[in-house]
Structure 1
Amino acid sequence: MPIPMKWSVAQATAHTSQDPVEQRGFKLARKVILGIYQMGKPVIAAINGSAVGAGFDLACACDMRVASESARFMAAYIHVGLFPGYGGTWLYPRIFGTAKAAELMCMGNFMEVDEANSLGFLNAVVSEEDLIGTAEKMARRVASGPPIAIRLAKTMMRRGMSMDLETSLEMSAAVEAITLSSNDHVEGMVALREKRRPDFKGN
């Protein structure tokens, strides 16, 4: 599923408010970010313009990211004396490494689209006109794949980041048994022999 994203600095740093209604909104934002990260289906972000603070964290929680040529990114919290409270301290080191994560959090510099792309943060950089179309094309490609295998691959990738290799290999063996016994696997092998596109059903 592609998520169009364009966040302003005001939106990203608005959690300075003490209004109870807005505070509930901030809690909801954290649930959204966690939900995206844990969702069984891959999530694709389409990023146009500046993604800062919570908007940057939301992009980090997604599985794949397409950005326009004008996109740039900032963990803006430091500029208003705040802590990255939407998962940034957990997400940034895993995506960028500790050195870049520390720079993002402690210096608050913009990361331009070319740097983000060179660091492997982005899957594609396109014109603003092609942004949504590219994200939707990627989403269709993912949607045409085997649902069980894709869901399990994402789940294992996420869980594997917090476990050792031996445990990951043991869990992967159990997961592989599920895909090997699926009708999608049978369909994939038949389609390969028949030299046609597989028609996966998710069972």
Structure 2
Amino acid sequence: MTEPFVLVERDAAIVTVVMNEPETRNALSRTEQCDEMIDALDAVNRDPDVKVLVLTGAGSVFCAGGNIKDMEAKQGFMAGTPDEIGERYRHSLQRLAKTLYGLEVPTIAAVNGPAMGAGLDLACMCDMRIASERARFSETFVRLGLISGIGGAWFLPRAIGHARAAEMAFSGRIIDADTALAYGLVSEVLPVEALRNRANALAAELAANSGVALRYAKRLLRLSERSELTVALDATAALQTIAHLTEGHRMSVERYLEEQRVRRAAGR
């Protein structure tokens, strides 16, 4: 029986999705891989107890992008007529892009190794990115006579700005983790053995907050990317009104006041 491409790990309110095909460097070339990831992400959206998602890769690579051997053999996404290839992209990779980017909870990409082509684009779909020292990043498509089929031309400029994105997209250059940090592509670079622990600690820090507030905050961040201030403020007023009435808000206020009382009693 074929091993699943996606492993889902659950720790209380935190879900970790692991791309699990290290023998192919977690290459993303088949519709069933996308279907597995989409199913896992949809399950997160449906579960109100999930607060944070971590995305990472098994082995030494985050995701190598498309499988070059499949490209040569014209199989996987690359099989069939032009119409069939286009439809396959729309209903697999591009559906995955919409699902990951549209996830309701905060997402952290723990980039354990090279994130190439579609792998880089997957990382850019996440809200936060941290990387190991072994991570490498590239929009490799032009070097193969291709463009990003999963939306890199939309995601990458939003992560690092137009000029840097254009440089990476037009050159296909590979950058190391320190350069990615300087570009603002990742927020931290860590030893590879410390990456998962740091991702879990960051996820736990976020998950300590109200799940409703986290989902609302993310919804507003997404809305702010495509709306005028007045529209964003109207949506904020509506969501804030609901948030004031939630159990999460009440518990957060109680916890905050208790922490203040403890500090005052300790003379801090």
Query: TM bucket by the smaller chain?
Result: 0.7 to 0.9
Which runs of 5 or more structure 1 residues have no equivalent in the other structure? Answer: 197-203
Tell me the equivalent position of 2:198: 134
1:64 aligns with 2:128: yes
Distance 1:12 1:67, change over 3 A: farther
Tell me the equivalent position of 2:184: 120
Q: 1:106 Cα shift?
A: 0.9
Kept after mapping to 2: 8 A contact 1:69/1:126: yes
Alpha-carbon separation, structure 1, partners of 2:180 and 2:107: 18
Kept after mapping to 2: 8 A contact 1:15/1:26: no
1:39 aligns with 2:91: no
Kept after mapping to 1: 8 A contact 2:89/2:149: no
Alpha-carbon separation, structure 2, partners of 1:25 and 1:98: 25
Percent identity reads 31
Q: Give the TM-score of the pair, scaled to structure 2.
A: 0.67
Q: 1:13 Cα shift?
A: 9.0
Tell me the equivalent position of 1:200: none
Tell me the equivalent position of 1:52: 116
Kept after mapping to 2: 8 A contact 1:78/1:105: yes
Dislocated runs of 4+, deviation >6 Å: none
| 2:159 alignment partner AA | I
Kept after mapping to 2: 8 A contact 1:12/1:76: no
Q: 1:4 aligns with which of 43, 49, 56?
A: 56
Q: 1:87 aligns with which of 151, 165, 169?
A: 151
Listed one character per residue, the Cα deviations across residues 77-133 of structure 1 (whole Å, up to 9, x for unaligned) are 000111111111111121111111111111111122112112322132110111111
1:165 aligns with 2:217: no
Alpha-carbon separation, structure 1, partners of 2:129 and 2:94: 19
Q: 1:149 Cα shift?
A: 0.5
Q: 1:49 Cα shift?
A: 2.0
| 2:92 alignment partner AA | L
Distance 1:132 1:184, change over 3 A: same
Alpha-carbon separation, structure 1, partners of 2:103 and 2:97: 10
Kept after mapping to 2: 8 A contact 1:49/1:70: yes
Kept after mapping to 2: 8 A contact 1:13/1:76: no
Distance 1:121 1:170, change over 3 A: same
Distance 1:176 1:108, change over 3 A: same
Q: Give the TM-score of the pair, scaled to structure 1.
A: 0.86
Alpha-carbon separation, structure 2, partners of 1:72 and 1:184: 39
Instruction: Tell me the C-alpha RMSD between the 2 structures.
Output: 2.3
Distance 1:121 1:19, change over 3 A: same
Tell me the equivalent position of 1:199: none
Tell me the equivalent position of 2:139: 75
Greater RCO, 1 or 2 (C-alpha within 8 Å, sep 6+): 1
Tell me the equivalent position of 2:48: none
Distance 1:130 1:41, change over 3 A: same
| CA radius of gyration, larger in | 2
Distance 1:26 1:110, change over 3 A: farther
Kept after mapping to 2: 8 A contact 1:7/1:51: yes
Distance 1:15 1:58, change over 3 A: farther
1:187 aligns with 2:243: no
My pick for the range that moved more, 172-181 or 69-78, is: 172-181
Superposition pairs of residues 21-40 of structure 1, within 5 angstroms: 24=88, 27-40=91-104
Count of residue pairs the alignment pairs up? 196
1:19 aligns with 2:19: no
Kept after mapping to 2: 8 A contact 1:33/1:58: yes
Higher helix share: 1
| 1:2 alignment partner AA | V
